[in-house]
Amino acid sequence: MKAQVETLLTDALVERPDLFLINWEINNENHIKIIIDGDQGVRVQDCIDISRAVEHNLDREAWDFSIEVLSAGVTEPLTMARQYKKNIGRWLKVKLEDQEVEGELTSIGDQAFTLSYQVREKKPVGKGYVKIQKEQEIAFDAVIRATVMIKF
């Protein structure tokens, strides 16, 4: 069943190039869980379409199964470069091996992305602090966890 679901899921996503797969699994009770994302977000209808593309092509006589198609929630970590691209302009919290950085995602490349943020540093002359705008390029493979921050 797993190979058939994988084929059906791949075919369904080929038909919808604006959507992409984050993760999928089948548990011991044949519950199929599919998590998708989209370049312009994911609508309920998108989840229904993917669900139908898989469910209507599986034989219920052969397998007793349930299916759930979800969009990647805002609290879920970013796992693919394509997710970073759709979040340009948003604030991210990025955990690296030796530090944690929060900043606005300003650009994305093939191997890395750039965060922009402000820090307070001591004035070079005199007392007090001054805000300095900084940018940090972060390689995708250096990221342990990156999440979109909801700012109010």
Same domain, 85 and 138: yes
Q: Which residues contact 126 (CB under 8 A, 6 or more apart)?
A: none
Same domain, 40 and 96: no
Domain that holds residue 97: 81-148
Q: How many residues does the chain have?
A: 152
**How far are the Cα atoms of 10, 54, 65, 66, 127 from residue 60, in angstroms, in the given order?**
20, 12, 7, 10, 74
16 in a structural domain: yes
Same domain, 16 and 65: yes
What is the rounded average pLDDT of the residues 123-151? Answer: 91
59: domain CATH number is 3.30.300
3-state secondary structure of 44: helix
Same domain, 107 and 134: yes
Same domain, 108 and 126: yes
**How far are the Cα atoms of 25, 66, 73 from residue 42, in angstroms, in the given order?**
19, 21, 10
59 in a structural domain: yes
76 in a structural domain: no
Mean pLDDT computed over every residue of the chain: 92
Q: pLDDT tens, 66-108?
A: 999 999 887 789 998 899 999 999 999 999 999 999 999 999 9
pTM for this one?
Answer: 0.78
Residue 27 pLDDT grade (very low, low, confident, very high; cuts 50, 70, 90) = very high
Q: Which class for 60: exposed (0-12), middle (13-18), buried (19 or more C-beta within 10 A)?
A: exposed
**Among 42, 71, 100, which residue terminates a domain?**
71
What's the number of domains the chain is made of?
2
